[in-house]
Structure 1
Amino acid sequence: MLIQLESHPNHGATGRIRRENECRIITAAEAEFARHGYKGASIQKIAERAGLPKANIHYYFRSKLKLYAAVLAHILDMWDGLLGELDPAGDPAAEMEAYIRAKMRLTRQYPLASRIFGIEIMSGAPYLQEYFQDGYQDWFRERTAVFATWIARGEMDPVDPAHLIFLLWSSTQHYADFSCQISSALGRQGNELEQADYEQATETLLHVILKGCGLRKALD
């Protein structure tokens, strides 16, 4: 992955403090970038959200672009890591169910991540062009090969693996990107989806997607 957090030695208390401050800054930056996008986000506002002096932001991340890159890296690591865990030797129903459940948990726990990524993509992905050009197609082909293996073994219906992945991404992230619309439609107070909503959504996605692939739910 090209967009990465810069590595620093993490030894003892100093390393712990660095990790804690970086997490505080990234969490604050996610809120600011999700609300205003990269161009509209302010380092001063991020510092205020993090409860740290502005100078500390520049100490850990030398520029707003470096901080934005760290936020995008955090998002991509979470999502790509999950897809990378699919095991071609495993049972496709169990593997896909575990992935969908995990992806929906991330959607609920980190809704801002999906919104930031959506803003970036709808803007033409100006800060992800290098990431998408260097090895991304090879990585994606490796992921589609997992589904192709299951199909070749006759363990699932012959659906297009690439478009199945797109469906998995879009259907799970929908509950973060459009939570306001969904919560309004469901009559939720404060426009906040409840845990039961995510659980019901997860079960619905599992039923529709697995059945559409000729699979049956494997986990309890």
Structure 2
Amino acid sequence: MLFNIESHQHDKPVGRIRKQNETLIIRAAEVEFAERGFAGASMSAIAQRAGLPKANIHYYFKNKMGLYIAVLSNIIDIWDASLSDFTEDDDPSEVLPEYIRQKIAFAREYSLASRIFAAEIISGANNMKAYFSDNYHLWFAGRVAVFRKWIEQGKIDAITPEHLLFMIWSTTQHYSDFSVQIAAALNKKEPDEQDYAAAAETLIHVIMKGCGALK
């Protein structure tokens, strides 16, 4: 979307190594920011978590804010990519279940990044002003337009697409942002693979029937 991590030529060895190091640093930063928040996190601690010299961290990311934005950008790009592929020619009975399964998978794999994003939003998203600009609205309007075409074609019921998307986002991301509560309710240390699979299938059943895509 608006503040993507710089792309590189992945077919070249240098590009692959750079991408690998960036990914390693971002995943280490996720742990640090999730545990200590932006104010408490340090580049030295992130370097230690990544097992790299601090100078290497600064080579890829100039400062802590740049790395923080990269963490947010990474999870947003992952979320948005799966939704951006929707077209009016798609069958929602096929693409929506897959989208929900992907979002649940992301909730499990990128739980820390999701929590960092949620904390940023709750605090007012002061570091995401550039992201939530008119371009974001245009991107979201384009996604909503696909759902409206599905309504016109009789593929789903005449619901409000915006709120359908908000519901999918909130229910799927709940399994990362509130995983501690879920684990406590299930009397487990943390939700397991079967819990995530059951969550996905339950959400698919309810959402698909609710929007009329499950006949």
Give the TM bin, normalised by the shorter chain.
over 0.9
Separation of aligned partners in 2, 1:7 and 1:160? 35
What is the aligned partner in structure 2 of residue 40 from structure 1?
40
Separation of aligned partners in 1, 2:151 and 2:9? 45
Are positions 1:58 and 2:58 aligned together?
A: yes
Are positions 1:214 and 2:212 aligned together?
A: yes
Unaligned runs of 5+ in 1: none
Match of 1:198, as an amino acid? Y
How far the C-alpha of 1:87 sits from its partner, in A, is 2.3
What is the aligned partner in structure 1 of residue 99 from structure 2?
99
Separation of aligned partners in 1, 2:166 and 2:10? 37
Separation of aligned partners in 1, 2:15 and 2:105? 29
Percent identity, aligned pairs only? 53
Match of 2:13, as an amino acid? A
What is the aligned partner in structure 2 of residue 75 from structure 1?
75
Match of 2:23, as an amino acid? C
Judge conservation of contact 1:3–1:72 (CA < 8 Å) in 2.
no
Match of 1:74, as an amino acid? N
How far the C-alpha of 1:8 sits from its partner, in A, is 5.2
Separation of aligned partners in 2, 1:81 and 1:21? 22
What is the aligned partner in structure 2 of residue 195 from structure 1?
193
Separation of aligned partners in 2, 1:21 and 1:92? 38
Q: Tell me: CA distance 1:90–1:8, structure 2 relative to 1, closer, same or farther (3 Å).
A: closer
Q: Tell me: CA distance 1:11–1:157, structure 2 relative to 1, closer, same or farther (3 Å).
A: closer
Judge conservation of contact 1:86–1:96 (CA < 8 Å) in 2.
no
Are positions 1:167 and 2:134 aligned together?
A: no
What is the aligned partner in structure 2 of residue 127 from structure 1?
127
Aligned length, in residue pairs: 215
Judge conservation of contact 2:31–2:112 (CA < 8 Å) in 1.
yes
How far the C-alpha of 1:102 sits from its partner, in A, is 1.1
Judge conservation of contact 1:43–1:57 (CA < 8 Å) in 2.
yes
What is the aligned partner in structure 2 of residue 27 from structure 1?
27
Q: Tell me: CA distance 1:151–1:10, structure 2 relative to 1, closer, same or farther (3 Å).
A: closer
How far the C-alpha of 1:49 sits from its partner, in A, is 0.4
Unaligned runs of 5+ in 2: none
Normalising by structure 2, we get a TM-score of 0.95
Judge conservation of contact 1:86–1:99 (CA < 8 Å) in 2.
no
Match of 2:201, as an amino acid? E
Separation of aligned partners in 2, 1:97 and 1:172? 12
Separation of aligned partners in 1, 2:109 and 2:62? 28
Q: Deviations over 1:104-142 (max 9, x none)?
A: 111111111210110110110011111111411110100
How far the C-alpha of 1:12 sits from its partner, in A, is 4.0
Match of 1:75, as an amino acid? I
Match of 1:178, as an amino acid? F
Separation of aligned partners in 2, 1:213 and 1:207? 10
Q: Tell me: CA distance 1:207–1:9, structure 2 relative to 1, closer, same or farther (3 Å).
A: closer
What is the aligned partner in structure 2 of residue 138 from structure 1?
138
Q: Tell me: CA distance 1:8–1:84, structure 2 relative to 1, closer, same or farther (3 Å).
A: closer
Judge conservation of contact 2:9–2:16 (CA < 8 Å) in 1.
no
Cα RMSD after superposing both structures: 1.5
